[in-house]
Structure formats: structure tokens, C-alpha cells
Amino acid sequence: MRAYFSLLDATHHAVWNSPSTQTDEAKQAAPGPISHNFILTLTHMTLVPRLRETSALLDPPMSINSLGFAGMLLCMSDDELARLRAVDGGIRGVLRSVGVEPPSAKTVEEGELASS
């Protein structure tokens, strides 16, 4: 549990220092809880912060959850799949539209969590 809270703290710090949250629009938005996706495997724990739940690049918008950031987007129809494939930048573009740009390439390693 300690590792989760350390990772959550690092995620919040990354969000507030991200270029995605430094725009005039983001600065004017009322501060609120940070939305994030949680991915847990037998060997890794990942928190992926996001600015919004749905991607406006798709019409109608598509909700992106943790599996989306793991590379699995559920399309309910062939039409929805075609719209996803037609997005400029593909799946990566969709993820960028909901996610938070990292402040740097640095990742939080297990040793850094223990020292927090």
C-alpha cells in the first residue's frame, strides 16, 4: 500500500508539472481531483493520469479506461473501429488526447518509492 501512495504522489506531482497542465485553459480550470487509470500486474503497478475520460477526437466521444493505456481499446462496432483507425495519430493520438504529457522521460523506480 505504501508503494501505491508513493506512486500516486509522484503521479500528482507529474501532472502539476506537465506541459499539458500549463496551458491557459488548464490553469483557468478549477482544481479538482486528478483522474487516473490504475494497471496492476504480477510484477508492475502503473498509474496513468488523464485530463479527461473521453477523447474528443472521436465522434461520438469514446471513453478511455486503463485497458486503453495497456493497448486494448474496445470497439462496439465495425464503424467505431473504422473511426478509431481514421484518427490522425491513430490509437496513440487518442491516448494523447486524454492523457497527460510527461514532464520528463524519467520514471519512478522502486528504489525511489522506498526513499519517499
| pLDDT tens sequence across 69-101 | 888 888 889 998 898 889 888 888 888 888 887
Spell out the CATH class of 2-115: alpha beta
Q: What CA–CA distance (Å, rounded) separates 3 from 63?
A: 28
Res. 114 pLDDT band, cuts 50 70 90: very low
Res. 21 pLDDT band, cuts 50 70 90: low
The model carries a pTM of 0.66
Cβ(54)–Cβ(62) below 8 Å: yes
54-78 burial, b if ≥16 CB within 10 A, otherwise e?
Answer: ebebbeeebebbbebbeeebeeeee
